[in-house]
Structures are given as C-alpha cells and as structure tokens.
A and B are shown apart, each in its own frame.
Chain A
Amino acid sequence: MRGAAVRIEHLTKIYPDGTRALHDITLNVAPGEFLVIIGLSGSGKSTLMRCINRLIEPTSGKVFVDDVEITALPPEGLRRARRQIGMIFQQFNLVKRASVLTNVLSGRLGYLPPAWALWGYFPRELREEAVRHLQTVGIPEKAHTRADQLSGGQQQRVGIARALMQDPKLILADEPVASLDPATSHSVLKYIEDLNRREGITVLCSLHFLSLARRYGTRVVALKAGQIVFDGLPREIDEHRFKEIYGEEAVEVEIA
C-alpha cells in the first residue's frame, strides 16, 4: 500500500471573528512522509489539519490529496474522500458510552450501506478485522470494554485502530500525545510510526515537543502566527531556529 501525496496551495483561513489562523500556506507532502508540524499554541496547527479534510472550511486556497482537489468537492465527493483520510485527536474523541469494538468499527461507516449501520449491523468479517486492528495496537482483550473505562493511552490506541479501519492513505494526527505521559506518548507514536514505515501511510502529525519531532519526523514544518517559518529536516533545527519558532524566551525541554 502506498501513502497519499498532499499538496496545499495558498491556503488561508480567516475565522468569522476575524482571526487570521492561516496565512497563505503552500506545502507539498510526498507519499510516505512522516511530517511533523510544530509551533506555539495558537499558531494554526489544528486549523491546518482540519482544512485538509475540510472539518473546517478554508477561506481560500486549494488542498489536493493524490491529485483530487478536496477543496472543490461537493458534499458526497468530500464524504468519499474523507474515508481514506484517518484522523487522530488529542482528546481521542471516542464515543464514551460505546464499546471499544463499536468505536473501531465506526471508522468503516463511510463504506457501508446506511441501513446496516442504523441497525448497528456490522458483518462478521468487519468485526474480525476490527479485532485485528486492536491486536495491532496491542489491546485486543479490550474489545468489549466501554471506551470510557480505558486509560488515556489505551483510548488513543483505539483512536488509531479506528483510523486503521478506514484503510487510510493519509493520517492526520492533531497532537495525538499531548494528553499522555512520556512513556505512553512514545508507545502511541511508535504505532503511528509503524504504519508509516511498514504500510507507507503518509502521516501529518502535530507535536508539542521538539524532541518527539526529532525522533519521529522525517520532515518538520514549523508554523508561527499562521505562516510557515521553517521547513526542513528535524536535525536542522538548532538553537537559533528554535528561538525563531518559539520566541526568544523559550527554553527547550526534553521529553524522555
């Protein structure tokens, strides 16, 4: 399986209240890259991610995923395009009262006849596939547990399994480990890295810690006030660049 290419052209997002969250972003992501997006809080990382699958409508500019112009798609086309773009969230965004298995299966909804899903019917092969994805992220025994009874790290792994259920070419991970402890952060990021390396899924991942960006990213893009201020290899971020991105007073903290 090959990952998708992402092309972003002159993307601008101005929120209704006038906040200019993204300003003329142009960015190319090659298939199979692990692109880490860094930047201060409020720099526009989440907005950028959500403009790619149009959870947020961009104000202007174009987004292409594998030469499909996402920004030009009608609602039904957008829905189809979204099926191949997995998304992982900082707050996991699981349906808390539902079982882990149902949460994973819900990743496949876009492919199923609507009537099936309304009755809560998923064919046996799909349920088996869901359990396989849970195996991939190391928690097959939790399939029938309620999602809100899992730890944060386990919930995020369910989030990954849900994205896998989409059979994605591209994964958007918006601060997937920001609410997890260092050790759990690494284990979650390793699962994502695995998908990237083994299956070639393109990953766009925003992170707060530079050390994590260095460890996992094949390329790093830094945002500042809605603009790209750095685009290069992780090891190119030195003291000087760091201060450019995070400001003069910032001091780098390491995460184990």
Chain B
Amino acid sequence: MQRHDATSGLPRAPELPRPGLGSLRVLAWILVLGLIYAYGWRVTEINLVELATKWSLARPLLVDLLRPDLVARVPRIQLADAGVGLEGTPPPAPEVRRPAGQVTVTPANAAIGQPVTVSGSGFAPNRPVELIWKDQAGSEAAVGRLTTDAQGAFQTTLRVPDVIGTSNHVIARVTLEGTVLAPSNALRLTFFRMIETVFLALMGTTMAVVFAVPLSFLAAKNLMSRSALSLGVYFVMRTVFNIARSIEPLIMATVFAVWVGIGPFAGVLALGVHSIASLAKLYSEQIESIDPGPIEAITATGASMLQVVRYAVVPQIVPPFIAFTIYRWDINVRMSTVIGFVGGGGLGFLLIQYINLLQWRQAATAVWAITLVVAAMDYLSARVREKVV
C-alpha cells in the first residue's frame, strides 16, 4: 500500500528495512502473543478432547431440538350441559355452545344436599361419561362416572354438592374412541409469549422514541455550540448516553425485575432505557449532519421559523429517524427474546423455564419461535427501511 504525506499529497519515500532490529521485534511480538494465547487457552478451560469424545452427551438434546413439541394427541370428546338453580333461583341457560347431546336435571330447582336426577341422551353409545358440577364461581368438581347405554343415553341420581352461589351447571363429558391432533400446550404458550415478545419490543421502542426525540436535540453539537451553557448540556447528554448505552439490557432487566416485579413490564423498561440512549445518539448524529443550505434558502424566501422547520429541517430528519427507529425495534425484538432469562417476560421467560425443567422438546418450540420472530422482523424492517429512506 502506498502511503501519502498528508500535507504535500506526494507519496512518501519508503522506509528502508532494518533487517536485524526488525526481525527481533517480530520475534518479541510472536512470543508475547504466544503467552497471551497460552494463558487464554488455560483460563477458558479449552478441552478439545472432551469436545471430540463427549459429543454423544449432547445428542439427545440436539435431536430434541429438531423435534419441537408442536402438536399433541388429545381424546375426542362430546360435551353438553344443563343449568341448576339453587334456593329458588331459576336455572341458568346451558352454556356449552354446540352440545353433542341433551342433558336434563330434575328437579331443575333444588337445594344443597337434595338428590337430583341427571339424565342424558343423544351421545355416542357405550362410552364413558364424566359428570362435572360447575358452580357460579366457575370451579368444577367431578360428581360421577358412568357409561352410556346402547342408545347413547344415561341416567343417575346425585346429591347437590355444597357449593357457593345459586347458578350452577351440570356438564356431561363423553370420551369417544380415538384421538385428534391439536396444538400442544407448549405451542400455545409459545404463541402467546411470541406476541408478548413483539409487543414488549414495540412498547420499549416507543418509550425510547418519546424520550429520545427531544433529548437528541440537546445532544446535537451544531445546535448546542451557541453558548458555554448549551455546550455544557451537550457534553452531559453525550456522557449520559454513552454510559446508558454501555449498560447491557440484561443487567437493566435484572434491576427492573426487582423494582417492578418479574414480567414483561420489567423488559419494556430495560429495553426502553437502553434504547433511549442508542436512539438519541443516532438521532443527534442525524441532526448534526443536516445540510444548512435548504434552511438558508427557505429562510431567504421570507418563510417563518416554523415553516423553515417544516420544509427544510423535517424532510431532512424524519425519514432517517423512522429508519433508525425500525432498526431499533428489530434489535429490541431480538433482545426481548432473551431478556426473559432474567425475568423480563417474553419468549425467553418461557424458554428458561423449559430449560430448567429439562423439557428439551418444549424448549425447542420456544427456540424455533424465537428464530421465526427474529427472521420475520429482520425481513420486515429491511423492507420498510428500504421504502422510507
């Protein structure tokens, strides 16, 4: 590579090699580097033998990672119910939406301890029935087990259990032959946590934008170098941002989880505070790079201060602000997937629980969901930024 003298712009005469001294220096450097890496090898306990021989320990885990828990086989059931009123209250209407058969309770008005007859018809023949008493508070208790007859009907007598409230239901649950595929519990939980994750990032980013926009003006050198006081504010802002940016969101989340309790709100706060600093820095750099030309030109037309801001400043900063914000949201989605490890809610919270319980297939569901969310956000944010700028 050619080196140029900064003042003259002419190539500088190449330095003559000094063989003896040069190679000695190289040798010394090699020695120092060798020592550094030797120590690094020991201190990080690198063990290639273990890596090569014990891979089978990780095998079930890796295999489970490839078989996430997505669907479960659940028994097919038939449901129907009937209302029972206690202490003179009229019986409530049945609440099962598409009942498979018909259930009647006689008398439909009863008192605690009184025997009532429960009969059902229209169900599958010769299948087990479970009778469930559901009280006004929604708690359910099993009150009987029997089997439907060849016509798909059943009848039994039971005593009204000691419940609170007057509005009750008796539910008949008939289990059919065979099973159906349904989303597994892990998949359902993961799905809700996934939504929580995206919104966690959205709220954190929004919070950051609200604070970062005004603060960024205080951290823009071109605006703040008018007086000693404003310059002082500028340096304080810059310093605060730099410090805030260097604190990992995971550490902030730990603090906030203690402060406001474990959950997504702690994550929102952690991501928000961290993002204020990084967004304010990006914004202020954008403000610093504003071209004064259009401002001068619009001022010269006799436009008011507000109009100058609207026509000469806003077009220069708003599109990049939007681009930075989406970029930040993208990063925050990434971060919000792990912020749950320390109590910040979202997918990470679920993942760490599965890992602690050694439920690898469920953990795999969360891992794949994280991958999916991050990739989708990545793609979306790239597309939107492309459009805006």
Interface string of B296-324 (1 = CB under 8 A from A): 11111111101100111001100100000
Interface string of A83-123 (1 = CB under 8 A from B): 11111010111111110001000111111001001100000
Q: Give every chain B residue within 8 A of A25 (Cβ-Cβ).
A: none
Cβ-based interface call for A81 (8 A): yes
Q: Give every chain A residue within 8 A of B307 (Cβ-Cβ).
A: 109-110, 114, 117-118
Cβ-based interface call for B293 (8 A): yes
Whether A83 lies near B301 (C-beta < 8 A) is yes
Contact size class for A? 20 to 34
Cβ-based interface call for B214 (8 A): no
Whether B293 lies near A93 (C-beta < 8 A) is yes
**Closest chain A CB from B295 CB (angstroms):** 8
Residue B297 contacts which of A87, A108, A110, A111 (CB distance < 8 angstroms)?
A: A87
8 Å CB interface, B36-89 against A: none
**Closest chain B CB from A23 CB (angstroms):** 24
Contact size class for B? 20 to 34
For A49, give the chain B residue with the smallest CB separation. Answer: B300
Q: Give every chain B residue within 8 A of A86 (Cβ-Cβ).
A: 300-301
Cα distance, A89 to B300, chains bound together (Å):
11
Whether B297 lies near A83 (C-beta < 8 A) is no
For B295, give the chain A residue with the smallest CB separation. Answer: A93
Whether B302 lies near A79 (C-beta < 8 A) is yes
Given known contacts A114-B306, A114-B307, A118-B310, is B301 in contact with A55 (CB within 8 Å)? Answer: no
Cβ-based interface call for A80 (8 A): yes
Interface secondary structure of B, over-half rule: helix
Cα distance, A102 to B307, chains bound together (Å):
13
Q: Give every chain B residue within 8 A of A107 (Cβ-Cβ).
A: 301
Cβ-based interface call for B183 (8 A): no
**Closest chain A CB from B225 CB (angstroms):** 13
Residue A106 contacts which of B293, B298, B306, B319 (CB distance < 8 angstroms)?
A: B298
Given known contacts A95-B315, A109-B311, A117-B307, is B297 in contact with A89 (CB within 8 Å)? Answer: yes
Whether B304 lies near A114 (C-beta < 8 A) is yes
Cβ-based interface call for A169 (8 A): no
**Closest chain A CB from B247 CB (angstroms):** 35
Whether B311 lies near A95 (C-beta < 8 A) is yes
Whether A82 lies near B302 (C-beta < 8 A) is yes
Q: Give every chain A residue within 8 A of B310 (Cβ-Cβ).
A: 117-118
Cβ-based interface call for A53 (8 A): yes
Whether A162 lies near B297 (C-beta < 8 A) is yes
**Closest chain B CB from A7 CB (angstroms):** 20
Cα distance, A243 to B70, chains bound together (Å):
88
Cβ-based interface call for B115 (8 A): no
Residue B294 contacts which of A83, A95, A117, A118 (CB distance < 8 angstroms)?
A: A95
**Closest chain A CB from B117 CB (angstroms):** 73
Interface string of B276-294 (1 = CB under 8 A from A): 0000000000000001011
Whether B316 lies near A97 (C-beta < 8 A) is yes
Residue B301 contacts which of A96, A98, A110 (CB distance < 8 angstroms)?
A: A110
Whether A55 lies near B299 (C-beta < 8 A) is yes
Cα distance, A97 to B291, chains bound together (Å):
12
Q: Give every chain B residue within 8 A of A91 (Cβ-Cβ).
A: 293
28 A-B pairs in the complex with CB atoms less than 8 angstroms apart:
A55-B300, A79-B304, A81-B302, A82-B299, A83-B301, A83-B302, A84-B302, A85-B300, A85-B302, A87-B297, A87-B300, A89-B293, A91-B293, A93-B291, A93-B296, A93-B297, A94-B297, A95-B294, A95-B316, A96-B291, A96-B315, A97-B316, A108-B301, A109-B298, A109-B301, A109-B311, A117-B303, A118-B306
Q: Top 9 closest A-B pairs, CB basis? A: A110-B302, A83-B302, A93-B293, A82-B302, A93-B297, A109-B303, A87-B300, A95-B294, A109-B307
